[in-house]
Structure 1
Amino acid sequence: MKRFKKAFMALAAVGILSFAAGCGGSETSNEGGDTTDSGAEQVTLKLAHSGSETHQYHVAAEKFKELVEEKTEGNVSIEIYSNATLGSEAEAVEQILDGTIDMTTVAADSSFANTVPEMNVFGLPYLFRDRDHVYATLDGEVGSSLLDIVNEKNMVGLGYWEVGFRHLSNNASEVVNPEDVQGLNIRVQPAPVWEAHMKALGANPTPVAFNELYSALDQGVVDGQENPLPTINSMKFYEVQKYVSLTAHTYSPAIVVMSNRAYDQLNEEYREIVRAAVAETTTYQRDFLFEKEEEILATLEDSGVTVTEPNREAFAEATKDVKDTLSQQVPQTLIDDILNVQ
């Protein structure tokens, strides 16, 4: 499986930050806030995500916590809540919009795409050539322009952590060609692109909340799902799935956003620290997850999962028209801009 390492690295974390104390200037704090003896503000941020303590989200959350607390000398502390204890991804997005939650990170092409339709672009099959193409897109002008669109939706786009290249798993049969997926009930994220994607393969797209997916697979509510290798590993989906096909059909970034209310309450120093910590966490998480891939593949095989290399050219051909069904959500100019990234 070593030969798959570059093509299928899954990197990726969902976070929710909410203030336990208001933020003001460096010498004063808003009502309810605490200060140190030197007058520096003390802020507690709650960061919640829908993954387990070994999920990509948690890898990023822990690093983000470390960096923020270090850079603020402990004046900003991070409390991490995993396993969707503060709500599903869809609920987190809603709470960002109404300002009841301060910060979250979710898969950009999931329920987030219902608020920012352009993010459906990340659900388009075989849009990216490889991992380098993904990072050049996210770290360049295209990624920046998408964050600008996020900024118009009553929230602040801070950057991208990683979910990763997505692969198909199921509990029915080995998948090598598109026709092997026909008739299967496949869990999808609640976004238009995923319904179109699975229908193009002849599968039955079935939306299931991420925090309910393990039980849905275990109980046979759905036959399979599609997620990056680190997700399949960290959420232990391999316990209830017999087959994994390395389709690498899409790449999902984890968009990192903050509500306008929360961002406005942060002083400039803390804003810069949060932004810098998000960016540094991105690099750390990508490298960390890349090094984990061979270990994950070994875990799957040791657990009795059949891992196959599918006919990706056939999958790309079968799903080539998915983009046409999303012309209202995803402009052709955006697709062209991504294809032209070098």
Structure 2
Amino acid sequence: MKKFLSLVLSLAMTATLLAGCGSAPAASGSAPAASGSATGSAVNLKIATTGNEKHQSTIAAQAFADKIAELSGGQITATVYPNSQLGSEREAVEGVQLGSLEMTVVTSDGALPNFVPETQVLSIPYMFETKDEAYYVLDNFLQDELEPKFEAQGIKHLAFCELGFRNFTNNKKEIKSAADLSGLSIRVQEATIWFALADSLNFIATPIAFNELYTALQQGTVDGQENPITSIATSAFDEVQKYMCMDNHTYGAESIIMNLNLYNGLTAEQQGWVDEASAYARDYQRETVSSMEAEYLQQIKDSGVIVCEDPDIQSFKDATADLYTRDDVAALVDPALTEAVMAAVKESHN
């Protein structure tokens, strides 16, 4: 009997020790690793955009989705959700930051400055005269300059793609110089620099979500808006606007972003696929959007919009020359950063 009891006790102790050798629980608050990050199993991504299927953001998102599936042999797949199905731009960025959404493509200087204020440097008017200048600065300066600021917010900034040069439209009068904007109510993005731009040009800034803008223009909630040619045409704003001024006040970029913990949880090979697909989406989307602009401008004219193609640009530049040094703007974007961008523009010509 003693031998039997001793055997039972020994077996019980062994079982207890074996149970104690199991995996330790995850640390409290640690982010989950990406699906398949260690084993090579499938990774499924959701990509949110607020534009419709023809919008610049959706073109970039779909190009990424197609390329990542090709590069990974289907190991990484991505599904694009356009038309604000997963929320507004701000909600999409918040989702990426928190990890409830894997990816989004959003306007770089729209809702994104709520997370990385320095992206508003792209809202400083009349810094770029050509797309080549913008591409050089975005790819060779700002991508690296802003990377740590995005990562501090839990976001991986993968690439800048194209929205395009922004232009004013309205229903009240033709805009030929800066003075003509006085008193008009114009929809702008919800960011301090856009309010400063309105102050400099003496129009009334009204922030409205992009997916609500057509109705706001149709109902006269605002007199006008400002967006690139492609956005105006693909969103049918030309149906509810009478005048357009091609002042090209800012070059609008878009940002392809991913949750940082997700990216860091991928294998080196998977990260390489993501990086390559992002670069491909950037280049493909820029080329595609640029190739469509002439056709879309003609569509806008054909719809009856009166287009001023040669406004007094100097009047706009003079009215906004010191905008970047204003206290409210400088508090968000260090004037030194703006001047560094201006220097990079000059470098792009070397």
Root-mean-square deviation (CA, aligned residues, Å) is 1.4
Q: Does residue 212 of the first structure (1) align with residue 212 of the second (2)?
A: yes
Aligned partner letter, 1:235:
S
Query: Runs of 5+ in structure 2 lacking a partner?
Result: 1-31
Q: Does residue 147 of the first structure (1) align with residue 147 of the second (2)?
A: yes
More displaced stretch, 145-154 vs 223-232: 145-154
CA distance in 1, matches of 2:232, 2:251: 15
Shift of 1:235: 0.7
Shift of 1:148: 2.7
Q: Does residue 324 of the first structure (1) align with residue 307 of the second (2)?
A: no
CA distance in 1, matches of 2:302, 2:111: 34
Identity %: 38
Residues 67-78 of structure 1 aligned to structure 2 (within 5 Å) = 67-78=67-78
Shift of 1:314: 0.5
CA distance in 2, matches of 1:199, 1:254: 25
Contact 2:60–2:105 (Cα < 8 Å) also in 1: no
Q: In structure 2, the residue corresponding to 1:338 is in which secondary structure? A: helix
Aligned partner letter, 1:70:
E
1:195 is matched with which residue? Answer: 195
1:237 is matched with which residue? Answer: 237
Shift of 1:178: 1.1
Alignment CA distance shift 1:142-1:75 (3 Å): closer
CA distance in 1, matches of 2:63, 2:94: 25
Aligned partner letter, 1:99:
G
Q: In structure 2, the residue corresponding to 1:172 is in which secondary structure? A: coil
Shift of 1:241: 0.7
2:27 is matched with which residue? Answer: none
Runs of 4+ in structure 1 displaced over 6 angstroms? Answer: none
CA distance in 1, matches of 2:341, 2:236: 33
Aligned partner letter, 1:142:
L
Number of equivalenced pairs: 310
Contact 2:164–2:228 (Cα < 8 Å) also in 1: yes
2:130 is matched with which residue? Answer: 130
The Cα offsets for residues 121-172 of structure 1, whole Å up to 9 and x where unpaired, read as 1111101132111111011133311223212222111111111111101111
More displaced stretch, 82-91 vs 123-132: 123-132
Aligned partner letter, 1:315:
F
1:276 is matched with which residue? Answer: 276
TM-score (normalizing by structure 2): 0.86
CA distance in 1, matches of 2:234, 2:142: 30
2:178 is matched with which residue? Answer: 178
Residues 12-27 of structure 1 aligned to structure 2 (within 5 Å) = 22-25=35-38
1:44 is matched with which residue? Answer: 44
Residues 86-97 of structure 1 aligned to structure 2 (within 5 Å) = 86-97=86-97
Query: Runs of 5+ in structure 1 lacking a partner?
Result: 1-18, 29-39
1:116 is matched with which residue? Answer: 116
Q: Does residue 338 of the first structure (1) align with residue 328 of the second (2)?
A: no
Contact 1:102–1:261 (Cα < 8 Å) also in 2: no
The Cα offsets for residues 234-277 of structure 1, whole Å up to 9 and x where unpaired, read as 11111111111101000121112111232233222211111111
Q: In structure 2, the residue corresponding to 1:41 is in which secondary structure? A: coil
1:311 is matched with which residue? Answer: 312
CA distance in 1, matches of 2:262, 2:214: 33
